[in-house]
Amino acid sequence: MPSPDTSPAARPRQQGLRRGGRRGRALRIYLAGPLFSEGERAFLDALAGRLRERGHDVFVPHEQFTGEVVDLQPAEIFEVDVGGVREANLLFAWLDGPMVDDGTACEIGIFAELIASGQPRYVGIVGLVTDLRARRRRGTPGDGLNLFVAGAIAANGELTWGVDDAIAAVDRLAMRRAAVAK
């Protein structure tokens, strides 16, 4: 059975928060999204790379395990991933697909409740939509997303419609957190 990878190379979230010349603005980010195909994992890896280039510490669920992922047990996945959610300052959720991935929706709900706890360390949720199916429904109630998920994001952050817009939203939330910390 695979276990969490504890090597330094596999745990970029533990490498420190002051990289890339962005002192005081780095966030711990939980990157949520579907991760069941090579294409999905590659997209999440690319997003994580963009965020890490900006100095952020990014928790990517599929980076936390070694070995055969198909052998993982639900309790093990929950323990590791919910720990990543709780340690994060911001949840970045990739929302593409015919419907929002159920694990991603759960992570959004958990993080919305963490924000509601009033702890200032939890700064927001950024939702990213790049899927043409959802983009065509933009402007409808919930912008074509599950209304509960869309409401949780709207109440706690920003829904964005492209990668560059999502990165800009992360930057805004990081600056807001830095301003509150002063």
Residues of the chain with pLDDT > 90, as a percent, come to 66
Q: Which of 155, 163, 131 is nearest to 145 (CA)?
A: 131
Q: What pLDDT sits at residue 24?
A: 55
> Mapping DSSP to helix (H, G, I), strand (E, B) and coil, where does residue 127 land?
strand
Residues near 132 by Cβ (< 8 Å), separated by ≥ 6?
none
Which of 174, 169, 146 has its CA nearest to residue 158?
169
CATH number of the domain at 42-181, out of 3.90.1150.10, 3.40.50.450, 1.20.1250.20, 3.40.50.620? 3.40.50.450
Q: How much is the mean pLDDT over the chain?
A: 86
Locate the domains of the chain by residue range. Answer: 42-181
Task: Report pLDDT digits (tens) over 15-59.
Answer: 333 334 444 589 999 999 999 999 999 999 999 999 999 999 999
Q: What are the residues whose beta carbons fall under 8 Å from the beta carbon of 118, sequence distance 6 or more? A: none
* pLDDT tens per residue, range 94-108: 999 989 999 999 999
pLDDT at position 96: 94
Helix (H, G, I), strand (E, B) or coil at 30: strand
**pTM score:** 0.84
